[in-house]
Structure formats: C-alpha cells, structure tokens
Structure 1
C-alpha cells in the first residue's frame, strides 16, 4: 500500500477520535475523571482540530498521489469514501447535539449515498469514477461550515450576531445537491443510464 492510501486510511482512523472528543459525557463520569472533565470542557476544540486535520489530509494524499505517481484505483475509491465517512460523522454529531436541523444532514448524507451507489455501479462495470471539481468545492464548503458550527459560530460571534455558520451549512447543502446532479449528468453515459 502506498503512502497516499495510508494517509487516506489515517483520515478514516481519526473519525473515532473525533467522536470521543466531541461527545458530551454524563456528569457521573465527568465527576469521577479528570480526563472526562477536560474533554467536557475542551473536547469541542479538540474535535474541530481533529476534523480539520483529517480534512487537510484529503489534499495531502491527493498531492502525494499526483506528485509521486501513486494514483491507484483503490485510492480513487477510498479517498472519497474517507471524505464521506468524516463528513457524515460530523453531521450526525451536530444533529445529535441539535446544532443543525436534521434535514441538512439528510440532504448531504443522502447525496453521498447516492454518489456512492453510482460509484459501486461503475465499479461493477470495471469503471472507476473519480471526484469532480464540483464535489471538491462542496467538500471545502462543508468542512468550513462544519468547523464553524462545531465552534458555535466562533469567531464570527465577535463580529456579528448573524449565524454565519448556519448560512455556510445552507450553502453547502445547496452545493451538495448541485454537485450530485452534475456528477450524475457527467457520468451517466459511462454507466449507460438515462436521466
């Protein structure tokens, strides 16, 4: 397994740490452990840091794969899967903590399931479909929006009372739908499907 794919696997491996960092722990556990006291107070910041580090590895593994000619079919399938798992994990946490409405998470996760289905159909025909520019742009917007929501709209709260985090998440949801449509439109001929 090459370095680019190992970095992609690292991104997947950071997801459980993200979950551990951002969970609100019950008071009986917090009262018994300094570690859980720390996580209850600062876990959100650690969760955002882990999420951003994991997100940055997406660009890193892509750059390494291109620079050292390590682009593989496994990498083309694994890289977008890692992105979907990371974003979905964050969305589930945010819905559970009532930071965003469930419909935003459903739109974004639904699109990811839809695109994954297309990739599976393509793989069954021996076709590997890589992510397009629309998909990469929506991922960037999702990462910014998720980080802002997890930080409870900081640092924007120091400037304005306007919910910048929520607005970015709305824009990410809209771009997610659009990128899903474009992905289908650009690849349906390869799959011999009809819109």
Structure 2
C-alpha cells in the first residue's frame, strides 16, 4: 500500500496563499469579462491556471499539503467556472439555460453532501465522469472567450468551445446521476456502521 502524504492543519503556506490569491481574482475576472475586456480576462485566467499548477507542485514537493488547501483549490476552480458562465451569459454569449444546467448540478452535489453528513458520512469520491466533465468545461469556456477576443481564430475556437461545453454539461449531469445512486446506496448502511464505512467513501 502506498504511503499517504502527511496532512497539515496549517493555514499560511505558500500553496494556500496562492489559492487565496486565486479566490481574490475571481471577482476581478468576472468584472473584466462582463465589461468585454476579454484579453485582460484571459490573462487573469492564465495566471490563475499557472498558480493552480504551481501550488500543487509546491504542496507536494515541500510537504505543504493542508486540509484548508484541499478545500480552497477546488473552490477556486469552481468559482472561476461559475464566473465565466455568468459573465458570458450576461453578455448573451452563452444561454442562461446552459448556465443553470451546470450550476444546478453543483447545487445537487451540495444537497447530497448535506444528506451524507446527516448520515455520518464524508463526501463521495470524485467519479471519473465528473473529472472528464470538469475537464471539458475547463477547456470550453476559455475557448469561447478566445473566440470573442480574437476574431481571426473564432472560426475554430467557438465551435470547439461549444462542443466541449455541451459535452461537458451532459457528462456533468451523468456523473450527478451516478452520485445520486451512490448516495442512495451509502445511506442504507446502518448508522452504527457509519464510522467504519466513512473512511472508504471520503475523497
């Protein structure tokens, strides 16, 4: 069995500071996007992606993996996706129904998390469908933004971005159905067995 990386409860580590910075850039990104400053918004997104990569490398290399970091990192990723969806929808580049579909799935997962917690369990492991869906959305929204920022590449960036967006939304909800079924299975476990089972379902 592989040795687990030690988990720290520290707050002020370099990776966590980078994650805090990424969170602070979310409203900046949203304002730039709504204002139509697509190039500047893309630069913020590139900086966020680079810092996301760096904080993971630093955390692993210097044993600075923390509980807080495991919460901040995916939170920043999700908020950037939400900001991109909202900004592009405000500008009527994306339809609001697509934004509602994607955000609605995350609301569903939040409800499932509450249900699991009430039954004594931690969050479910991330399903590979969810990972693929998130991957699609990470590429879809920047591609659509690239098409808006640079007319010369819009002919391929926009169709490719839309393909990733629609496929990602579909997989997002497919994974959501899997999480619903898994939650239904898990909560049937008797309460007394929750302590022994929770370790097997936590991420």
Fold agreement, TM-score > 0.5: yes
Contact 1:91/1:146 (8 A) holds in 2:
yes
Give distance in 2, aligned partners of 1:64 and 1:187.
34
Kindly state the Cα deviation for residue 93 of structure 1 after the two structures are TM-superposed.
0.6
Alpha carbons of structure 1 residues 55 and 130: separation in structure 2 relative to 1, 3 Å: farther
Contact 2:32 / 2:38 at 8 angstroms: preserved in 1? Answer: yes
**Residue 100 (structure 1) shift:** 1.2
Q: Secondary structure at the match of 1:163?
A: helix
Alignment of 1:29-68 (within 5 A): 43-68=37-62
Once the 2 structures are TM-superposed, how far is the Cα of residue 10 of structure 1 from its aligned partner?
Answer: 1.7
The equivalent position to 2:135 in structure 1, one of 125, 140, 146, is: 140
Counterpart for residue 13 of structure 1 = 24
3-state DSSP of counterpart to 2:147: coil
**Contact 1:52/1:143 (<8 A) preserved:** no
Structure 2 unaligned blocks of 5 or more: 1-10, 190-203
User: For 1:143 and 1:47, how far apart are their aligned partners in 2?
Assistant: 15
Moved more, 109-118 or 66-75: 66-75
> What is the CA distance between 1:53 and its match in structure 2?
2.6
The number of equivalent residue pairs is: 175
- TM-score normalised by length of structure 2: 0.70
**Residue 150 (1) aligns with residue 145 (2):** yes
Q: Residue 73 of structure 1 contacts residue 128 of structure 1 at CA under 8 Å; is this kept in 2? A: no
**How big is the shift at 1:12?**
1.0
Instruction: For residues 23-63 of structure 1, give each alpha carbon's deviation from its aligned partner in whole angstroms, at most 9, with x where no partner exists.
Output: 33xxxxxxxxxxxxxxx6xx211112212332443443334
Q: Residues 126 and 164 of structure 1: is their aligned pair in 2 closer, same or farther, counting only changes over 3 Å?
A: closer
Please state if 1:4 is matched with 2:23.
Answer: no
Name the Cα RMSD after superposition. Answer: 3.0
Cα distance change on mapping 1:105 and 1:162 into 2, 3 Å: closer
Q: Deviations over 1:135-158 (max 9, x none)?
A: 333222112110111123656435
| CA distance, structure 2, for counterparts of residue 91 and residue 78 of structure 1 | 20
- Point out the more displaced range, 78-87 or 130-139: 130-139
TM-score, structure 1 normalization: 0.72
Report SS of the residue matched to 2:30.
helix
How is 1:25-174 mapped onto 2 (pairs within 5 angstroms)? 43-122=37-116, 125=120, 127-129=122-124, 131-152=126-147, 156-157=153-154, 163-174=159-170
Is residue 77–residue 128 contact of structure 1 (8 Å, CA) maintained in 2?
Answer: no
Q: Go from structure 1 to structure 2 and tell me whether the alpha carbon gap of 1:161 and 1:22 turns closer, same or farther (over 3 Å shift).
A: closer
